[in-house]
Copies of this chain bind each other. A is one copy, B any other.
Amino acid sequence: MKLVMAIIKPFKLDEVREALTPLGIQGLTVSEVKGFGRQKGQTEIYRGAEYMVNFLPKVKIEVAVNDDIVDRVIEAIQASANTGKIGDGKIFVLDLVSAVRIRTGEKDTDAL
């Protein structure tokens, strides 16, 4: 099993979720994060002065998946979260040692 962690632009969240459904993904977890990266130079206006904003709002998706669909999951995320503009984000893949469904105690593949 793998834990796929994707940092994306916030407004792409719904599209990404919809792109994952056909792959049989039934659950995922989302957090609001702030990203620092190549995408820069946004400014807020503040009383006639401008303000450099270093950290941009991003959304982090964490989804645990079976090894057999990891590649398709990555592709689906990359395709749906892509705008072609700087700041689209990253996908990171981590090894997952085990998984448990709290409600039933089911383990690993059954828990996803």
Which residues of chain B have C-beta atoms less than 8 A from A101's C-beta? 88, 90
Which residues of chain B have C-beta atoms less than 8 A from A83's C-beta? 103
- Say yes or no: A3 contacts B92, CB within 8 Å: yes
Which residues of chain B have C-beta atoms less than 8 A from A3's C-beta? 92, 94
Question: What's the least CB distance linking A20 to chain B, in Å?
Answer: 9
- Say yes or no: B31 contacts A36, CB within 8 Å: no
Q: Is A26 an interface residue (CB 8 A)?
A: yes
- Say yes or no: A35 contacts B29, CB within 8 Å: yes
Which residues of chain B have C-beta atoms less than 8 A from A30's C-beta? 33-36, 55
Of B29, B55, B92, which contacts A99 at CB under 8 A? Answer: B92
- Say yes or no: B86 contacts A102, CB within 8 Å: no
A58-94: CB near B (< 8 Å → 1, else 0) gives 1010001000000000100110011111111111111
